Amino acid sequence: MIQKKNIAVLGMMCASCSANVERKLNSLDGISSATVSLPTRTVLVEYDDATISLEQMKEAIDGIGYDMVIEEDRNVEAIEHRAYITLRRKVLLSWFFALLVMSLSMGWFGLSSYHDDVRNQTALIIALLNLFYCGRQFYVSAWRQLLHRSANMDTLVALRTGISFLFSTFNTFWGEAFWGARGIENHTYFDASVMIITFVLTGRLLEERAKHSTASAIRSLMSLQPKTAHAVVDGSPVDIPISAVQKGDILEVRPGEKIPVDGTACDGSAVAKTVAKIDESMMTGEAAPVEKQKGDRLLAGTIVKEGSLSMRAEAVGKQTVLANMIRMVQEAQGSKAPVQRTVDRIALIFVPAVVGLSLLTFALWFIIGGQEQLPQAILSAISVLVIACPCAMGLATPTALMVGIGKAAQKNILIKDATALEQLHRVDAMVVDKTGTITRPSLESDGIETLSPHASEVMATLQQQGIEVHMMSGDREERVAPIAREAGISHYMSQVLPQDKENLVKQLQQEGHTVAMVGDGINDSQALATADVSIAMGKGTDVAMDVAQVTLMANDLRRIPEAIVLSRKTVGMIHQNLFWAFIYNMVCIPLAAGLPYLFGLQWQITPMLASALMAFSSVSVVLNSLRLAGTAGLQASP
């Protein structure tokens, strides 16, 4: 049976890591697709459980140096929190070691009076402590990658620090004899090896803090889930864990409490009445409390504002609407936009390419300058290894998508996958259903429809955004035409069948348009499935919402132009991130290799400066994406 599961994978630190995990899983029999999200450190796997088990996947991923969490009793948040505390401790200690080594190498605090051998040997001991405790993870990871003929960011860090440490150790004990005999000045770079680890760890700590902010949408949705419920047992309420609630249980909900599971209002005791006012704004976006009576549907996470009620549980655990919302947002944040596929392919070859460039840099310096330039050749090669950063490229797209999809969820716009969010900004034609989308039935009206709130305003806004709107309806011409005029829609068709809606979508696509379809009924499902972007109204049929890539939880048409604006801002953010990530590497790698020397400039990027720039590049991409989360509004504009 085909299963789809979102699984945490710990230990991924860069784009090369996520690409390695994804490649490994996709190579296994029984897995039809595996998509890794670096910011969330999860993988969305679609697999046949008759062919491959979760345990087999875990064994494969653990074998290449990562940790796939499939055990129910392992709390991923607790594990990540402990890892964060350990990382913070290592960062503080590494900075302490770095300051000590810098003091020795620079002769601060009167240390210049000590003999060079004493200072170098003391720096060696401090650097060794730093490598073994603070930087041990880089060498363990690099070794595991090597055993599996792979490489990642840790490989570069291990090479950078290892080469600079070994070179400095050689110079400490044998440098004077070896270089002095050749008339070459002798230098050590223990400070560089320590500072590289310090800056990389600091960058990761800042990334972790920033990534925590990108997951705010998921945390806010999860906070809506109550922890306990009042179950009615033998006529009296008893508090039980939410996990113990079963379908068919009778529950009581009191004023100010959250409804624990999905169900229906039912007859209750003298305390729990059958009439109450419920705040459903977190699910529907409608601010006014809704009055609920016997037989009315109740949703988990909504809040009882007035009165108490009894309810019969109908959907519990992972079956509630709220749980499905959380799952959809998690899967969407873990999905990949088409542009990310290109970045992933680059990430797979990035580390080997950088190692090759480093070796080339060393060879050119040595060929041009001979033995006299050997220290410069080593220094330049290390600088190239240090400054190259696949992390910024790997984080450029997923962090922006995470924030964008999370922002949409806060606006009651559920986006199922990253492709939909990226495609929305290209939409220039939109097909909309009439009944239930543009219109709604009038009360005791005999079938007469009135225009949905804000319909004409939204249609005008969409056209200002450059989107050509087409209205389709199976209704009669005399009922469709007035609605089209009132809504300000010039392109409309009446008495159409479901196939006609699909045909219009295909026709617009053949004319070169990127088409969005908006509908709410079973008769819209064909067109929704055919469109480039499909949008369903939240109060529509389950079939329409299953097919659609975007669901408007509230029947508020204003969410459509807001979703398009959000898409444009998110895609713009992705392009910014990718531009700076690529420019960073294109500019900094030649500078680290010593290109300025060809033009007579006695300057280049040192390993210490390179490590600081590398750490800053990754952090800046994440912080830039977080600007989207701070957007005050998503008012549509042309």
Q: Which residues are catalytic?
A: 433
For residue 434 the two structure tokens come to 């009439």
In sequence order, the β-bridge partners of residue 316 are none
* Cβ proximity of 309 and 274 under 8 Å: yes
DSSP-assigned letter for residue 130: I
* 271 vs 250: CA distance, rounded Å: 14
Long-range interactions of 356-360: CB distance < 8 A, separation 24+: 357/384, 357/388, 357/589, 357/593, 358/159, 358/382, 358/384, 358/385
H-run or E-run covering 187 = none
Q: Which residues contact 583 (CB under 8 A, 6 or more apart)?
A: none
Q: Which residue has the tokens 């560089």?
A: 192
**Alpha-carbon distance values, 569 to 47, 428, 467, 519, 636 (Å):** 34, 16, 17, 25, 11
In sequence order, the β-bridge partners of residue 119 are none
SS3 602: coil
* 389 vs 605: CA distance, rounded Å: 15
Maximal CA-CA distance, the chain: 104
Closest by alpha carbon to 58, among 45, 73, 77?
A: 45
* 261 vs 247: CA distance, rounded Å: 9
C-alpha count within 13 angstroms, C-beta hemisphere, residue 368? 12
In sequence order, the β-bridge partners of residue 537 are 552
**Alpha-carbon distance values, 432 to 427, 504, 547 (Å):** 13, 11, 15
* Cβ proximity of 521 and 501 under 8 Å: no
For residue 272 the two structure tokens come to 């729990």
* 254 vs 312: CA distance, rounded Å: 15
* 263 vs 162: CA distance, rounded Å: 61
* 101 vs 95: CA distance, rounded Å: 10
Q: Which residue has the tokens 């999809």?
A: 405
* Cβ proximity of 602 and 555 under 8 Å: no
Q: Which residues contact 230 (CB under 8 A, 6 or more apart)?
A: 237, 238, 239, 251, 252, 253, 254
Closest by alpha carbon to 61, among 29, 30, 32, 23?
A: 23
